[in-house]
Every structure is written in structure tokens, then in C-alpha cells.
Chains A and B, each alone.
Chain A
């Protein structure tokens, strides 16, 4: 038996059953959200299979707005009686906690809500792709990376497919379902010499099929790149720290847009007093900067955070956050949109059925400008070229940090040798004011990433190369 014969269960519209339960409700706002998540995953390290996994997490999450208060409950059974019980539990939770709610939530305003099937490409293709082929690829590339140099001690490689089907019905008109697949590929190598250990890693993620996943680089080239980075870093020096001019790669521009700006404009964070509060219509960046968050994969297909409807049934859109340096919009769910008296932007997302929808980013990016990378290097007198995203975090005061895997010194417009990666920091809107060049070639490059905000979310981010000033944490400051 091959895994080709391990079909995902027949894909069916789940909204009819939800709608039958919904018709039995009273006057409150009710949202029923079916979410079936099925994951296939393989990982290998040093020639050994660590993971060969299929997992399923399926159920229905129910939100009720009763007496001006939200209640939430969930069930892992997709059947009418169980959904009805969850609905009653959510209603009971709302009512029993309503006395502690100081400012009652007003009924949500009418908005255009999605109806019908919304499907992104790739599901059928990857279901039909035998997992044996994926295992062969992962084994082969792990071996390729491990044997790339005698300095390499071990390598690891993983491939994951997340299949998602969702259906959402609400008492004010949403009745939509969606399906998509998000594949991810990761490879890493660990090199060692004279007691020194360095790691190189590469990863890609997409919403869509195989071609989307490996659109910008083949799996083989990613394995070579990870191995080379691990080996090269063994003999690389540390850059000096301090405030510096840097050229950020598209993946790091993605991190910058996500960490430095994206989180501060999530409307729930704005309402708590984030640094973006009260700044709509003001200049927050150089006029070279146009920064957006889109549910659609702009420029080309496959961005890893793509979704056609959000988890409240709102159709997604390209939300322009900063236009030519001016702050234009926050990111909203239905409740925050009502608070700010704007239309929702389709940013309500829940990781699994038993999570409540929160305001989350999707595909966040800086729009391309007109410089080539060569021009940007030539125009830099003293600085660093940075590439390879590590983790990042943003703060309420606009301060952000993120890690990079590699750095190259730039002196008098010439690129120097590889140096070890650094962490960089800055205050978001201050850094964006320093942007003096924006590249013209656009890349989505964070599709393998997850954003954390109490619950994970698959997001993507990217942009062109960008020139700006940040604080670099090096050695020997």
C-alpha cells in the first residue's frame, strides 16, 4: 500500500450542517467555524527518520455575543448535536461572565460577508503526491548537505504539508468554506572545526503546490546553501556593533515589516496604546516606503500567509498600511473595525478550531522601488549587507529586534568578506524614516515562518532589498 492510497477524507462543504444548527439560535450574534487541519510531516537527521507523521485536528469553534459579552466553546465532533451543545456552552459562558464586562460590546455592524467556496490551488496536487517521494527527497538532500564538506557533523531536513478546510457561518450572513494547502521545506547543517560549531539553515514555505514552494530556489540549491553557510561561518569574524547603514535582504525586509510595523498596527494592540496609536495620517516613514498586508499573494502566486476569507467570513484584501510614508490604516477584525468606524480588513485568524480568531497579519510587504542591488552596494560608503532571517520580536514602544544569519561588510561601495550574523534593533518608525533606497526586485521570503501571539499563525512577508539605518549588536563594540 502506498500513501497515494491514503486519501484525505472527501472534501465536503461543511457549512450546510453548521447552517442547520444556526437556524435554531435566538437574537444573539453567533459564529460557527468548522476547521479540519491535517498535517503530513517527515523529518530526517543524520540519516535517521525522526518523524514520519500524519496528524488530524478537527472540530468546530463557536462564538456567541450575548448580553454584550463574548462566549466561546468548541467541540471535536462535527455533528449537529455536538455543535448545538457547544453553542449553548458558549452562550452560557457569555451570559455567566457578562456581569464582569464593563463596556458592553455593541452588535457588530453589517458588512459584506463571504458566501460560497473559496479555494486556493495546490490541494489536489499535493494530496496526489506520494509521501514516499517526499521521504526520498528529504533523505537525499539531508545526505547531500551532510556530505558537502568534511567539516559538517550533521544535517537535518524536513518537509511538511498542512491541509486546511474551513467553513464559517454567522447569524448575519456569512456562509463560506475554503480549502488550501501550505507546504514547507527546511534544511540545516552543522559544521564543526577546532571546537567551534556553526549552523547553516534554509527554509521555504508557500500556500499552493510544488511549483510555488520551489519557485525561487530548488531544494538542491537550498541544501548546498545551508551547508556552505555552516562551513563558511566557521572562519567568519564578528562585525563591530553600533548604529549602522545596512542593506537588508528581502527576507529581512519581510521581518522588518512584520516585526517592526505590522504588530504595532494590529488594531487590538493600537487600542492598548501601541506606538501607532493616534498616528493615522501622519508621516511614519520615508516617502520611499509603501507597506501593505494582503490576504492575496501580490506580485506572484504562493505567498505563505494567503487566504481568501478570514475566520470571521470577511473577504480579504490588500490593506495599504503606509502609503508613500504616511500611515493610512490599521489591521482589523470586525469588532475593532466597528470601534474605529472603518471596514474590516479580513485579518481575523484562528490557528485551530479551538482557538478564538485574533487580529493577525497575512502577507506583509514593502512595495518595490527602482534601485538595483548593485547600485545600493555601490552607494554605501560604510555599512553591512545582511541576509538570512532568524527570530524576531516587536515591542509596544515600536522597538524591534531580529536576528540575521550572515553579514558582509561594505566599505566604499565594495562588498567585503562574510561575517557572522548579528541581531539588529531599532525603533520602527525611526528606522523607516531612514530608508533611502528601495530595490526593484520583489521576493516573498518568510513563508516557512510562524508568528506567535498566544497562538501561532502561518504568515509570509517580503519585499525588495532596502537601505536603512539600524542598531547592530556585534562584538567588540
Chain B
């Protein structure tokens, strides 16, 4: 076999989408023939070239492609679901048969109905840049090698446990008996690094950073940002000492703010959580539940966020969506099922992939910036206390209670970072403390290309030093 034959075929979005749609149609027809009253197939095709590094050296190069198709059927309001990565006709027939059989013995639920098709509000086809779609393994190797070499060169104390560079091409398609028939493709290049700094016997806490770009011209900036963010975190983790226990203000990095405060708000905004009695935001629609500076949108039109896309897991159109505005809860998130229960329209928030029943969740969370300056200004606003850059702990989305360890944490005196911390725990309740926002930064960070958020200074935290 020649080396040319060994190359993965170039990514052809139109061809892959057409192939997936054909498979989805075929599967839906099989399900209907098997007795399903409604059927929906969702397919994904992914083609990945990846190179991984360990201990600063290339570990392995990997090329993969694969297809998965999920089939959801309803019979008399009863749900059955199957998924398979085996796409020959006999396997699809088996998947269709299994889904119908599962529905036969499942429990009827009158809210189980597939959504009708609606025109998309965004144009598909904007997520694949030709240069990224054709980014080959050799380019991935070179990109990863440069990334790791430059990270290691920042400081001899940096120990890279694992780093990756990868080029991903993904096509998705959805087809249903209710007229949904959409497909789109996405291509991105991603970098990630995980590791720590080691200085003699001093082993610092680990940290990680990374992100993806769809625009090749942004790869250099992503590389620079990732190296700087990771290096600063792990080098800063050396010589960690004890914090002081107190109750009071804590400065959260955008990533930590997202984990402790924004995530519980988003989870509690799920209409299903509200309907099933596990949301602290039940009955709060239109009410101010948080500081008036808090505004959260879900923005799948933001192409810098990896969750960008034109339709959701059920083929419903996605659009820029205001969740919280000026501290007021503007809407809950709906998929088709939750919308049916509340007798309203889906907001296009069906989530998940081909291997499970559609769930409910946001695509691309964006928290509005405040007006209190940059990170340095926020440190000055804190003056003295704890600065948390990463949170490792438990967040209960129902109650909003969170408790865990402040990672890559720093102690601040007179508005300046004075030392790294270890064994520092924080706890509080997100919904209570969002009314005690002291400051929100004017600057925001892109967090692993999945969300945007500012720094936040929050009062009333319990800080326990080890």
C-alpha cells in the first residue's frame, strides 16, 4: 500500500453530510416499518488527527474516523432509543428493531412527541474553513512540537505531563418523521497542556489550559495564550503555603466564577429541573435573583466558542438567547419535551450526541463584562484575601451549595499576589452570594473555547485554611 493510499481521504463536508443524512433517513424508515409512530435519527461523523506528548516528548500520533447514529422512536407515547457505530444495513435494522421493542415495554408519556421542523435562523456552512478542514497529520505534528517546545522553553521547572494537538472534522445530521432534515459540519484545531512545575523537592500543583480555533489565522494567538496561561499558573503554584481562614470577599478567575456561580444558574434554568422540583430558580421567572450587573447569554452564533452551531440535537434552530439580564431571569431553557410540558416552544436547547437521548443544556455561555477594570484592578479591589483561579469541588445544582478546594490559589496583600496557597477550601451558596457581587471585570477570558466570563469579586465566602 502506498503512502498516498494511507492518508485519510480529505474531509468533504457536503459528501459526509449527504452520507449521514442518507443513513438517518434509512434508519427512520426502518423504524417506521417496525411500527414506530414517530422516529428521529441523529448521526455524527468525526475524523481526528491527533498527536500526544508526554514528559515533553512526542508520545503517539493517532488518526481516527468513525460514525455513530442514534435513533429515538415513540410508539403510543412510549420511548425507545438505540445507538450504534455499525452502519451496515443489518446493524441498522437491528438498531431499529431494538428501539421499537424498547418502546413496546416502556411507559407512556403524552409529552413524548417529536418537534416539528422550523427554518434555521443561521446559515449552515460557516464552521469549516478550507485550511482547517485539510489540516493534515504532519501539520498537527509540527504544530504540537512547536507548542510543547515553546512551553518547555519558558522555564526549566515546567514539567509537561501531557499535551495534545489535534485537528477535528465533524459532520452532524438529523432527520425525523416530523420534517426535520438538517446537517452541518465543523472543523477546528485544538491544543491542550496539563502539567506542573517542579523545583527540587518542591512539586507544585497541576494546572491545564487549552482551546480550539476554527480560523487558522488565530492558531498562533491560541498557542501564545495557552503557553502563557499554563506557564504562569504552574510556576505560580510553587512554594505554596497556608492561607488564612476567614469569611469575606474572594476574587474568582473567569474559570472559577463559571464553575461556582454560572454553572448552577444555568443548571437551575433548565425547564426540566424546574418542572421536576430540583431548581432553586423555580417560580423566579422575571424576578431579580442576582446582582444587577449579572447578564448571561447563550450565544451559538459566536464562532470563537466551540458550541457554535445552527441547530440543536433535535434539529431546532439555535439563536442568541438571553438567559439572565441585569440580574433578572429572562427565560428557562427548553428542549421539545420540556416545551411540551409547559405548552410553549423549544428554545433550541436540546443537547447531547448520537449515543444518548437528547438532553437539555446550553451551547455557548457568555457572561457580560462588568466595568471594574482588568485583573490587576480586581486584585486591588480585593485588597487582601484569596484569589481562586480554578475550583475543584462539589457544586449542587439544585441548592446552589458549593464546597471544594481553591486551586492555583493565591494570597493577596495590598492588591498584589504575595504567595501561592495549598489546602485552602472555600464554600458558599451560589444563589445567595450572587447578590453579594463586589466587582466584575471589564475584561473577559475565553475558557477552553467553551465560554466567556469576567473576573468576579464576591463577598461572603467561607475560606478554610489547612
Measuring CB to CB, which residues of chain A are less than 8 angstroms from any residue of chain B? 1-3, 5-6, 44-46, 48-59, 63, 69-74, 76, 88-90, 92-94, 96-97, 100-103, 131-132, 135, 139, 153-154, 190, 192, 195-199, 241-243, 268-269, 271-275, 277, 354, 356, 390-391, 393, 395-399, 401, 403, 420-423, 425-427, 454, 471-477
Task: Indicate which residue in A1, A59, A100, A243 contacts B104 across the interface (CB closer than 8 Å).
Answer: A1
In the complex, how many angstroms separate the beta carbon of B150 from the nearest chain A beta carbon?
Answer: 14
Residues of B within 8 A of A395 (CB): 205-206, 407
Closest to B354 in A: A55
Annotate B274-297 by CB proximity to A: 1 below 8 A, 0 otherwise.
Answer: 001110100000000000000000
Check B423 against A190 for contact (C-beta < 8 Å).
no
Set A269, A273, A423: member contacting B393, Cβ < 8 A: A423
**Stretch from B78-86, B115-123, B224-232, B375-383 that touches the partner:** B78-86
- B238 nearest CB across to chain A (Å): 9
Contact partner, B61, options A6, A94, A476, Cβ 8 Å: A94
Residue B3 lies at the interface, judged by CB distance under 8 Å to chain A: yes
Q: How far in angstroms is the closest Cβ of chain A from B274?
A: 11
Chain B residues whose C-beta falls within 8 Å of the C-beta of A76 in the assembled complex = 66-67, 85-87
> A396: which B residues are within 8 A, CB to CB?
161, 195-196, 203-206
With contact pairs A1-B104, A53-B356, A153-B278 given, residues A48 and B81 touching in the complex (Cβ less than 8 Å): no
The answer to whether A89 and B6 have CB atoms under 8 Å apart is yes
- Select which of A71, A273, A476 is within 8 A of B60 by beta carbon: A71
Known A135-B106, A243-B466; judge A390-B394 contact (CB<8 A).
yes
For A278, the closest partner residue in chain B by CB is B201
Cross-chain contact B85 with A92 (CB below 8 angstroms): no
Nearest CB in chain A to that of B240: its residue: A397
Query: Are B61 and A96 neighbours in the complex by a CB distance under 8 Å?
Result: yes
Once the chains bind, are A57 and B355 in contact (CB under 8 Å)? Answer: yes
Q: Mark B79-103, 1 if CB is under 8 A from A, else 0.
A: 1111111110001000101110111
B-chain residues with CB within 8 Å of residue A72 when the two chains form the complex: 60-64
A-B pairs, 7 with minimum CB distance: A153-B277, A473-B425, A241-B464, A403-B394, A471-B466, A97-B61, A70-B60
Given contacts A88-B6, A397-B240, A476-B247, contact A69 B61 (CB under 8 A): yes
- Chain B residue at minimal CB-CB distance from A105: B59
Does the CB pair A131–B85 fall under 8 Å? no
Is the beta-carbon distance between B60 and A52 smaller than 8 angstroms?
no
Does any Cβ of A come within 8 Å of B347's Cβ?
Answer: no
CB distance from B78 to the nearest CB of A (A): 8
Among A90, A272, A423, which residue has its beta carbon within 8 angstroms of that of B394?
A: A423
CA–CA, A435 and B247, complex, Å: 30
Q: Knowing A1-B101, A135-B105, A197-B399 touch, does A271 contact B63 (C-beta < 8 A)? A: no
Contact of B159 with A by CB under 8 A: yes
- Whether B241 sits at the interface, judged by CB under 8 Å, is no
Say yes or no: B278 contacts A154, CB within 8 Å: yes
**In chain A, what residue has the closest Cβ to B357?**
A51
Residue of A3, A88, A96, A153 with most chain B CB atoms under a 10 A cut-off? A96
Q: Once the chains are docked, how many angstroms separate the CA of A367 from the CA of B291?
A: 51
- Sampled A-B contacts (17; CB under 8 Å): A2-B101, A2-B105, A48-B111, A56-B82, A57-B68, A63-B60, A72-B61, A89-B63, A92-B63, A96-B141, A190-B276, A271-B55, A397-B204, A397-B205, A422-B427, A425-B425, A426-B466
Q: Are the C-beta atoms of B278 and A197 separated by less than 8 Å?
A: yes
Give Cα A71 to B59, complex, Å.
9
> Smallest distance from the beta carbon of B201 to chain A beta carbons, Å?
9
In the complex the two chains form, what is the Cα distance from A371 to B376 in whole Å? 54
User: Is there a chain A Cβ closer than 8 Å to B398's Cβ?
Assistant: yes
Query: Is the beta-carbon distance between B357 and A70 smaller than 8 angstroms?
Result: no
**Cβ 8 A contact of B63, one of A59, A93, A356, A403:** A93
Partner of A73, one of B63, B407, B423: B63
Are A190's CB and B246's CB within 8 A? no
CA distance A380 to B105 in the complex (A): 53
With A and B bound together, what is the CA distance between A46 and B99 in angstroms? 23
**From B84, B195, B237, contact of A55 by CB (8 A):** B84
Say how far A404's CB is from chain B's closest CB, in angstroms.
9
Task: Tell me which residues across on chain A come within 8 A of B62, comparing CB atoms.
Answer: 71-73, 93, 356
A70 CB contacts on chain B under 8 angstroms: 59-61
A residues in contact with B220, CB < 8 Å: none
By the criterion CB–CB under 8 Å, are B61 and A93 in contact? yes
B405 touches A (CB below 8 Å): yes
**B436 CB within 8 Å of chain A:** no
Evaluate contact between A399 and B205: CB separation under 8 angstroms. yes
In whole angstroms, what is the CA distance A185 to B66 when docked? 30
| Minimum C-beta distance from B358 to chain A (A) | 10
Residue ranges of B at the interface with A (Cβ–Cβ < 8 Å): 1, 3, 6-8, 51-52, 54-55, 57-64, 66-68, 70, 78-87, 91, 95, 97-99, 101-107, 109, 111, 137-138, 141-142, 144-145, 159-162, 195-196, 198, 203-206, 237, 240, 245-247, 276-278, 280, 355-357, 392-394, 396, 398-399, 401, 403-405, 407, 422-423, 425-427, 462-466
- Chain A residues in 8 Å Cβ range of B111: 48
Assess A268 versus B54: contact at CB under 8 Å? Given A46-B277, A53-B82.
Answer: yes
A53 contacts B425, C-beta separation under 8 Å: no
How far is B438's CA from A409's CA once the two chains are assembled, in angstroms? 35
Which residue of B has the minimal Cβ distance to A354?
B64
Provide the bound-state CA to CA distance between A379 and B206, in Å. 37
Choice from A273, A426, A472 contacting B203 with Cβ under 8 Å: A273
Q: Which residues of A contact B51 (CB under 8 A)?
A: 97, 100
| Smallest Cβ-Cβ distance to A104: which chain B residue | B57
Residues of B within 8 A of A135 (CB): 105-107
Are the C-beta atoms of B1 and A88 separated by less than 8 Å?
Answer: yes
State the CA gap A57–B426 with chains docked (Å).
40
Which single member of A274, A401, A477 contacts B245 (CB below 8 Å)?
Answer: A477
Q: Give chain B residues whose Cβ lies under 8 Å from the Cβ of A93.
A: 61-63, 137
Q: A6-B98, A190-B398 are in contact. Are A103 and B57 (CB under 8 A)?
A: yes
The answer on a CB contact under 8 Å between B64 and A74 is yes
Contact A55 B82 (CB under 8 A): yes
Is B464 within 8 A of A242, CB to CB?
yes
| A357, B252: Cα distance in complex, Å | 36
B203 lies within 8 A of A397 (CB):
yes
| B61 close to A52 (CB less than 8 A) | no
- Enumerate chain B residues within 8 angstroms of A3, measured Cβ to Cβ: 101-102, 105
Kindly state the separation between the CA atoms of A198 and B396 in the bound complex, as whole angstroms.
9
Q: Closest CB-CB distance, B49 to chain A, in whole Å?
A: 8
Select one of B85, B98, B105, B276 contacting A132, CB under 8 A.
Answer: B105
Which of A57, A275, A420, A423 contacts B425, CB < 8 Å?
A423
Give the distance in Å from the alpha carbon of A425 to the alpha carbon of B105 in the complex: 46
Given A57-B355, A190-B398, A395-B206, are A71 and B61 neighbors across the interface (CB < 8 Å)? Answer: yes
A220 to B393, CA, bound (A): 30
Q: How far is the CB of B200 from chain A (nearest CB, A)?
A: 11
Q: B357 to A50, Cβ gap below 8 A?
A: yes
Q: Chain A residues with Cβ under 8 A from B276's Cβ?
A: 45-46, 153-154, 190
**In-complex Cβ contact of A403 among B78, B80, B404, B466 (8 A):** B404
Taking CB atoms, residues of chain B closer than 8 Å to A427 are 422-423
- With contact pairs A423-B427, A474-B464 given, residues A199 and B399 touching in the complex (Cβ less than 8 Å): yes
Question: How long is the Cα–Cα vector from A189 to B82 in the complex, in angstroms?
Answer: 27
Asked whether, in the complex, the Cβ of B405 is within 8 Å of the Cβ of A423, the reply is yes
B101 and A391 contacting across the interface, CB-CB below 8 Å: no
Given A197-B280, A454-B162: A55 touches B203 (CB 8 Å cut-off) = no
